[in-house]
Amino acid sequence: MEYAIEIKGLTKDYETGFWRKKKVRALEDLTLKVRRGIIFGFLGGNGAGKTTTIKTLMRLQFPTAGSATILGHDIADVQMHQRIGYCPENPYFYDYLTARELLSHFGELFGIPSSDRFDKCETLLGAVGLDPKDRGKQLRKFSKGMLQRVGLAQALLNDPEVVFFDEPMSGLDPVGRREIRELIAGLRDKGTTVFMSTHILADIEALCDEVAILRKGKLAAAGDLAELLAGHEGDRVLEVNVQSVRADAIQDEVDLIAGAELFQKPNGVAIQISDESDLEAVLAVTRRHGGSLISVQPVKQSLEDLFVNESND
């Protein structure tokens, strides 16, 4: 099976300092495969190496070691780059162009015939949610979120088969984020492969089929999002939520149930147990103190737990 993206042993050292003698290893031996037609989430905290990876794949900088292919072609292949799209982190464009002019300019570079260009640009500016009244304004008057939308539109001009979005939600308000989420989900529906970096976990949970977690330049975890979360469930923990009872009133009795943990909540308590057979005992204690059951639910490992576990030392 041909992958959309295959990265093999990618390593990047930045040379810093006045004499460029100090080396900073931003990426170490990254190996990763991305299937076609999915939304792939590239996760990691600040400085983890996400932008470094994407810029290297885009051939904006050379790797120190390793190689990568996109759509089966080496990243050095210029022809291949015509079939992909890229929106950088914090896109920056020439300030005195309007959104329309900028897009039209890129459209010309991509070789879109002038007869189609206007319609194509308008469709895309609409798709990324840029208001028609803003399309003729100079970009220097744009907010970060509006520039982000222009960047996304620019990345989609050539109907790319694979797109790389570096923190596509940055600068957007919650409404804007939802719009862009829908746009990205729509790309997958069309068969486009989306590789997006982000540190916003909610966006990953809402969008991504597969993820990779990067920690200090190294791959910490990768795979199907659902499987990654399931694999970390460990012991099944049940949470019993009870209202109209205070934690201090039942603490002593809960302590007698081995492994039970008690938490004060705004309107009652939550008791976590790892052995289902303790459920009756827990309920009996809370009822004796006037509590009434709200819910019993399994405690699922969230992406946040996984992310924190994998991105810390």
Ligand X SMILES: Nc1ncnc2c1ncn2[C@@H]1O[C@H](COP(=O)(O)OP(=O)(O)O)[C@@H](O)[C@H]1O
Closest contact distance (angstroms) between CB of 3 and Mg ion is: 23
Among 23, 31, 47, 95, binds ligand X (CB under 6 A): 47
Q: Which is nearer to ligand X, 58 or 283 (CB)?
A: 58
> Residue 171 touches which of Mg ion, ligand X, none (CB < 5 to 8 A by kind)?
none
Q: Which is nearer to ligand X, 55 or 81 (CB)?
A: 55
Amino acid at position 266, single letter:
P
- Sheet containing 292-299: order of strands: 261-265, 268-273, 237-243, 292-299
Q: Which is nearer to ligand X, 32 or 262 (CB)?
A: 32
> Residue 308 touches which of Mg ion, ligand X, none (CB < 5 to 8 A by kind)?
none
Chain center to CA of 46: 13
Helical packing angle, 144-156 and 99-109, nearest 10°: 20
Among 14, 239, 281, 296, binds ligand X (CB under 6 A): 14
Interface segment toward Mg ion; rule CB under 5 A; list 1-9, 10-18, 47-55, 126-134 = 47-55
Instruction: Verify binding: residue 53, Mg ion, rule CB under 5 A.
Output: no
Interface segment toward Mg ion; rule CB under 5 A; list 21-29, 81-89, 170-178, 276-284 = 81-89
Among 9, 16, 119, 251, binds ligand X (CB under 6 A): 16
Helical packing angle, 99-109 and 114-127, nearest 10°: 130
Closest contact distance (angstroms) between CB of 107 and ligand X is: 29
Q: Which is nearer to Mg ion, 50 or 59 (CB)?
A: 50
**Dihedral over alpha carbons 57, 59, 60, 62 (to 10 degrees):** 90
Closest contact distance (angstroms) between CB of 25 and Mg ion is: 16
Instruction: Verify binding: residue 48, ligand X, rule CB under 6 A.
Output: yes
> Residue 13 touches which of ligand X, Mg ion, none (CB < 5 to 8 A by kind)?
none
Q: Enumerate helices (H) and strands (E) in the chain, giving the number of each.
A: 11, 14
Instruction: Verify binding: residue 52, ligand X, rule CB under 6 A.
Output: yes
Ranges of beta strands (E only) in 1-100 are 5-16, 22-34, 39-43, 65-70, 73-74, 84-87
Q: Is 65 helix (H, G, I), strand (E, B) or coil?
A: strand
Tell me phi and psi for residue 51, to 5 degrees: -65, -40
Among 34, 50, 81, 184, binds ligand X (CB under 6 A): 50
Instruction: Sort residue 34 into left (φ over 0), alpha (ψ -120 to 50) or beta.
Output: beta
Q: Which is nearer to Mg ion, 50 or 149 (CB)?
A: 50
Radius of gyration (C-alpha) of the chain in whole angstroms: 25
Instruction: Verify binding: residue 44, ligand X, rule CB under 6 A.
Output: yes
Residues 6+ apart with CB under 8 A from 213: 43, 44, 219, 220, 221, 222, 306, 307, 310, 311
Cβ neighbours, 10 Å, residue 215: 18
Instruction: Verify binding: residue 51, Mg ion, rule CB under 5 A.
Output: yes
> Residue 47 touches which of ligand X, Mg ion, none (CB < 5 to 8 A by kind)?
ligand X
Stretch 222-261: interaction string toward ligand X, x if CB under 6 A: ----------------------------------------
| Contacting residues toward ligand X, per CB under 6 A | 14, 16, 24, 26, 44, 46-52
